[in-house]
Amino acid sequence: MNQLLQCNTLKKKYSQSSILKGVTFSLGKGEHFTVVGPSGCGKTTLLRCLAGLESIDGGDIILNGKSLAKVKPEDRSVVLMFQDALLFPHLTVFENVTYGLKRIKTSKKDRIRQAEEMLEKVKLTKWKNAYPHELSGGQKQRVSLARALVLKPDLLLLDEPFSSLDATLRESLRGEVKELLKQENISSLFITHDRDEAIEMADRLAVMNNGEFIQMGLPYDVVTKPSCLESAMIIGEGLALDEGFIPLHELILVKQNETIEPNFISIPGKITAVTVKNNHPYYRVSWDKGTVLVPSINHLHQGEKANIKADRRAIRKYLQNEEHRRKVQ
């Protein structure tokens, strides 16, 4: 895969407080890269720096072999999609979609053709003369996506664009967006704090914490083999212990009085909620370092005390921090 973007030790400070502490990564042409991390870890700042809406205090951003450090946002082939659709309320759907094309002086004929094609792709042709206030939340985000994609940017930045939508809509839109990005062959950098969304949208996944990437890799590897405790707590699907990580499929919830075999570990907890996942009951168990969703063969109830049980051999040791950090950067 040809390299599109290279970020070298990107640094950003706000009043002496470091928000980005030397972020380094690269992105291939047509690749979909996702960054997941808790609120305030620097994800949005990273996107804003890439879009040119914030200056950088150190490092460099190279797009297609050229440094973007001193390039204005309007001159970068990078479009940012925000959490809210942010459609211009006084313009129709069609005018919103053609807005960027007009700015880059595309001829009227081409503007109309390209916008109509894009509206067709996002299934909003019949809404082209509607105003934003006449659309639903999902439709607004589709228009916002169409407005960004019609420009055919080298890089599309998505800042938790589905966070304001309901769960069902979010799930359906995720698939549609990824499909559309593939069709248009547009590289994307997607940030989210939603684990499912991160995994689904990513070709490659990075976990961000406290202004730096702490793990990067294929979504399955990152989720099942977190490299450190922080990563395990942010993205790992399973139990994050100090000594290592136990994937979810190795965990089972048992009654409090059930005998635990010697080669198994047992962590006491309390069931705070019962839910259904893949047609099976799952229990949200609160233990002294957090909560975890675990299946059980027993029929248990909310409020009941129980033990999370796992084979000791299932514990996956974390990588040494320094060694791993060098590898990530």
Partner 1 sequence: MNGQIGLLKNKWKAGLYLLPAVMVIFLLVGYGMWSAVAQSFQTIDGSWTTNSYLTLFRNQLFLDSIILTIRVTTIATILALAIGLVMTRLLYQFFKDSSSKLLVWIPILIPHFVAGYLVFLFLSQSGLLSSFLSHLGVIENRADFPVLVQDQFGLGIILTYVWKEVPFVILMLLPVYYEIDHRYSEVVRTLGGSRWDSFKTVEWPWLLPVLVETGVILFAFIASAFEVPYLLGVTRPEMLPVRAYEWFFNGDWSKRPLAFSAMIVPGVVALLLSISLIGAIQKHRLRMVKGRVR
Is residue 131 near partner 1 by the rule CB under 8 A? yes
| Tokens encoding 62 | 């190279």
Work out whether 103 is an interface residue with partner 1 (CB under 8 A): yes
287 forms part of the interface with partner 1 (CB under 8 A): no
Q: Quick one: which of 109, 126, 133, 299 contacts partner 1 (CB under 8 A)?
A: 133
What's the chain's length in residues?
329
- Could you give the dihedral angle defined by the CA atoms of residues 76, 77, 81 and 86, in that order, rounded to the nearest 10 degrees? 70
- Cα 60 to the center of its chain, rounded Å: 23
Least Å distance, CB 55 to partner 1, is 13
* Cβ-based nearer residue to partner 1, 104 or 276: 104
Q: What is the DSSP string of 261-273?
A: PTTEEEEEEEEEE
Q: By C-beta, is 147 or 174 nearer to partner 1?
A: 147
**163-169: long-range contacts (C-beta < 8 A, 24 or more apart)?**
163/83, 163/192, 163/194, 164/83, 164/84, 164/137, 165/137, 165/138, 165/141, 166/137, 169/137, 169/138
**CA–CA separation, 206 vs 213, rounded Å?**
6
Which residues in 64-83 contact partner 1 (CB under 8 A)? 72-74, 76, 78-80, 82
Q: Determine the interface stretch with partner 1 among 95-103, 252-260, 278-286, 312-320 (rule: CB under 8 A).
A: 95-103
For partner 1, the closer of residues 34 and 141 by Cβ is 141
Indicate whether 108 belongs to the interface with partner 1 (CB under 8 A).
no
Residue 299 in contact with partner 1, rule: CB under 8 A: no
Q: Is 13 exposed, middle or buried (CB count within 10 Å of its CB: 0-12, 13-18, 19+)?
A: middle
Between 133 and 317, CB nearer to partner 1: 133
**Is position 52 an interface residue for partner 1 (rule: CB under 8 A)?**
yes
Q: Footprint of partner 1 on this chain (CB under 8 A)?
A: 51-53, 72-74, 76, 78-80, 82, 84-90, 99-100, 103-104, 131-133, 147-148, 151
